[in-house]
Amino acid sequence: MQFFGGSATTEASLLPAAPPGTGAGGPGNNAHMLYIFNRAGVCLLYREWNRPLRTLNQQQDHKLMFGLLFSLRSFTAKIDPTVVEKGNLGVPLLPGQGCSFYSFKTNTYQLNFMETPSGIKLILITHPKTGDQREPLKYIYNLYVEYVVKNPLYVPGTPIQLILPVYHITSYSSSNF
């Protein structure tokens, strides 16, 4: 039996909502939001530092984000001019199949993306002038491995509610972009 795991939600609220140096466009922080999804589309972790406009409820928001990346990956692979072999648009890809995109930019924000062959998707939304974020995303993936995956008390595939990993991941993301 599992005699714990349910009430851990209270923990997340113990965390500093916005670590030092964050908040509405404060200096040294260009991170807006961070999402970590697993292959099943479960949002394992979501944090936000600067997101004044919210039009969707959280669940819809996560679904939309996941769906966007899912389709975008399929599109980017389809229009890749460098390869001969192409899947049909809409035909699901194997993880790691085809080319992979790592960011797109609008005039107001930049979306940074990393996907592992195991289907973990990391999304970091930052200020459009923050540059290449692949290394930092890899670092966050490493934090996820060290503090979440190796924790015996973490049940794979469930939202991350343990203090330590959330603390490390969010404080890194908020202070390094």
Q: Which residues lie near other proteins (CB under 8 A)?
A: 1-8, 10-11, 39-41, 63, 66-67, 70, 91-97, 116-120, 132, 134-135, 138, 141-142, 144-147, 149-153, 156, 161-165
CB of 31 vs other proteins, minimal distance in Å = 19
**Do 45 and 36 meet the contact criterion of CB atoms below 8 Å apart?**
yes
Q: Which CB sits closer to other proteins, 23 or 96?
A: 96
CB of 111 vs other proteins, minimal distance in Å = 17
CB of 128 vs other proteins, minimal distance in Å = 18
d(CA 40, CA 171): 26
Burial label for 37, CB within 10 Å (0-12, 13-18, 19+), is: buried
CB of 63 vs other proteins, minimal distance in Å = 6
Q: Which CB sits closer to other proteins, 23 or 80?
A: 80
> Which residues, in sequence order, are CB contacts of 109 under 8 Å at separation 6+?
32, 125, 126, 127, 128
Q: Which CB sits closer to other proteins, 17 or 149?
A: 149
Q: Which CB sits closer to other proteins, 5 or 23?
A: 5
Could you tell me the strand order of the sheet in which 103-105 lies? 43-48, 31-37, 121-126, 110-115, 103-105
